[in-house]
Amino acid sequence: MPAIVAATTFTVVIVLILTERLHLTVAAFLGALVLIFAHVMTLGQAIGYINQSHATLALFFGVMILVRAFEPTNIFAYLGTQMVVMAKGEGKRLVLAVIGITTPICAVLPNATTVMLLAPLLPPIAQEIGIDFVPLLILMVFVANSAGLLTIVGDPATFIVGDSINLSFNDYLMRLSLGGAIAVGAILIMAPFLFRDIWNKKLDDMNTLPHPKINHPRVLMLGGLLVATVLLFFVIGETLPTPIPPASVALLGAAMALLLASQSKIDTVNNILKDVDWSTLLFFMSTFVLIGGLDKTGVINNISGILAVILGKNIALGSIALLFLVGILSSVVPNIPLVVAMVPLLKQYLVNVGLIGAEFLNPGFQGQLPPEVLPLFYAMMFGATLGGNGTLMGASSNIVAAGVAEQHGGKISFSKFLKYGIPVMLVQLVVAALYIAIRFLF
């Protein structure tokens, strides 16, 4: 009976999110509470499942504060205007500027956060040039989701999977960043065809452009040093004699940003904390509880048994199949709950077929998985992240862009996003499959 309740609750929550009957945070939060009140788990056990993924929550909480603290400097509005200036009024240059600015930012900040900050800049820019801003928003989303694969902290799904296998920031750079660069490169090659109207547009009068000024330049300079230091410790933190994980670095950066913003009086601590995306954090926590219910009641173990029968010990077949399966699922199911569900399922499958020992299932295990099974997890990262480009529901950054479009009088419909998203997703999944096969399997 508990297994039926857990599986049914998880399914209903996913359906409610897909159909947009309820806000995704409300649906997940209510689902988590159903498991507690139905005695599938106690409140203490639910908190325990949240605690198992504390690193994910800490990382994104820290980055949200770090970014929000320097918003009063007007740096993001300034960057938006520079995009048009760099483009010299030409549509094709603007497309390249969107890709060029979004890519490095999304390599180090969560993609939904980056879209939240940069997307509001595109509608006024598009109006100045006289083009529809909706395709530009969709382009930014594609780049943001793809560039999230450049580092382990660029996308929530990537970080969740990487953290589950104890993959360090540097190890990710060495093994997988090239795959992220190739994914962005695929968009670059497809852009002239997918966004033809924008690509061929040209603005003759550049003098009418607004020119926002940088506020609080000294604070911004100190903030830039702080962000650079945080990025440095993302890279070297885990190699120090006393290792510092990315989540701890992000929290320390957030604390220093709060100190700098409050002491310089560019903003108050209350204002900054008020603007933190608490909805996303609560959604993460609720999702961890829902997956915990599937794990506790044996649902994940049963599904992994089926997987073991189908795939056996064929890691190559399993990796490619998993990449496309997770990719297609991620286009219709938000990738965060999907990877949270798939990680324990995949580990249980590997235990069932004898490729890893049962000790790897321990949430506190700090060792390394055998190298031969890692392509399965790499495939999951690429599938979950790139599959999010397929439909409007595929990733949280897509939803953020849709909200920005509505605020500026436009609309990103499901069908319009699909027209761009399906070809991008299919090309990127094929490219990612080739990368994983050549780099890790053959």
pLDDT higher than threshold 60 for residue 365: yes
Looking at residue 397, what is its pLDDT? 80
pLDDT for residue 1:
82
- φ/ψ (deg, to 5) at 220: -65, -40
Identity of the residue numbered 271: N
CA dihedral for 333, 337, 340, 346, sign (positive or negative) = negative
In this prediction, residue 246 carries a pLDDT of 80
Contact 72, 267 (CB under 8 A): yes
Q: Across the strands, what pairs with 212?
A: none
- Of 213, 248, 274, the position where a domain reaches its end is 274
Last residue of a domain, one of 258, 274, 290: 274
- Give the pLDDT band of residue 87 (cuts 50, 70, 90): low
Residue 82: inside a domain, yes or no?
yes
Backbone torsions φ then ψ of 375, nearest 5 degrees: -55, -30
Q: Based on the structure, what is the number of domains in the chain? A: 2
78-82, 277-281, 342-346, 411-415 — most confident range: 342-346
Q: Clarify whether residues 295 and 251 are in a common domain.
A: no
pLDDT digits (tens, 9 = 90+) for 162-189: 888 888 888 899 999 999 999 999 999 9
Domain co-membership, 47 together with 61: no
**pTM for the predicted model, two decimal places:** 0.74
**Dihedrals φ, ψ of 373, to 5°?**
-95, -10
pLDDT band, residue 140 (cuts 50/70/90): very high
pLDDT score, position 355: 78
How far is 316 from 311, CA to CA, in rounded Å?
10
Same domain, 326 and 405: yes
C-alpha 103/C-alpha 355 separation (Å) is 37
Answer whether residue 304 shows pLDDT above 70: no
In a domain, 164, yes or no: no
In single-letter form, the type of residue at position 168 comes to S
Cβ-contact 343, 294 below 8 angstroms: no
Give me the pLDDT at residue 208, please.
59
413, pLDDT greater than 90: no
d(CA 143, CA 137): 10
Of 77-86, 185-194, 307-316, 401-410, least confident by mean pLDDT is 77-86
Distances (CA, A) of 208 to 84, 97, 129, 205: 12, 19, 10, 7
CB 330 within 8 A of CB 388: yes
CA 392/CA 331 separation, integer angstroms:
8
- As a whole number of angstroms, the distance between CA 27 and CA 9 comes to 10
Confidence (pLDDT) at 189: 94
Q: How do residues 218-261 score in pLDDT, each as one tens digit? A: 888 998 899 888 878 877 887 788 888 888 888 999 999 999 99
Same domain for 426 and 321 = yes
Mean per-residue pLDDT over the chain, rounded = 83
Q: Say whether both 32 and 103 belong to one domain.
A: no
**Domain finish residue from 274, 298, 326:** 274
What 8-state DSSP symbol labels residue 109?
Answer: S
| CB atoms inside a 10 Å sphere around CB 69 | 27
DSSP secondary structure of 380-427: HHHHHHHHTTSSTTS-HHHHHHHHHHHHTT----HHHHHHHHHHHHHH
Q: Does any domain span residue 160? A: no
CA distances from 385 to 91, 137, 144, 169, 404 (A): 28, 18, 10, 17, 21
Closest CA to 85 of 207, 199, 189, 224: 207
Q: pLDDT by residue (tens digit) across 203-229?
A: 655 555 566 778 888 888 998 899 888
Quote the domain boundaries for residue 36.
2-51+282-441
Q: Name the residue with higher pLDDT: 75 or 144.
A: 144
Per-residue pLDDT of 142-167, as tens digits, reads 999 999 899 988 887 888 888 888 88
Identify the residue whose tokens are 């219709």.
332
The percentage of residues in the chain with a pLDDT greater than 90, rounded to a whole number, is 21
| Residues 87-103, mean pLDDT to the nearest whole number | 81
Q: Hey, what are 403's tokens?
A: 């909200």
Backbone angles phi, psi at 266, to 5 degrees: -80, -20
One domain for residues 370 and 384: yes
**Rounded to whole angstroms, how far apart are CA atoms 30 and 111?**
26
The answer on 315 and 246 residing in a single domain is no
Residue 334: per-residue pLDDT: 66
Q: Are residues 193 and 325 in the same domain?
A: no
What pLDDT, on a 0 to 100 scale, did the predictor assign at position 203? 61
Amino acid at 347: K
* CA distance to 5, 35, 196, per residue, from 31 (Å): 10, 7, 44
CB burial of residue 409 (10 Å; 0-12, 13-18, 19+): exposed
Amino acid at 375: P
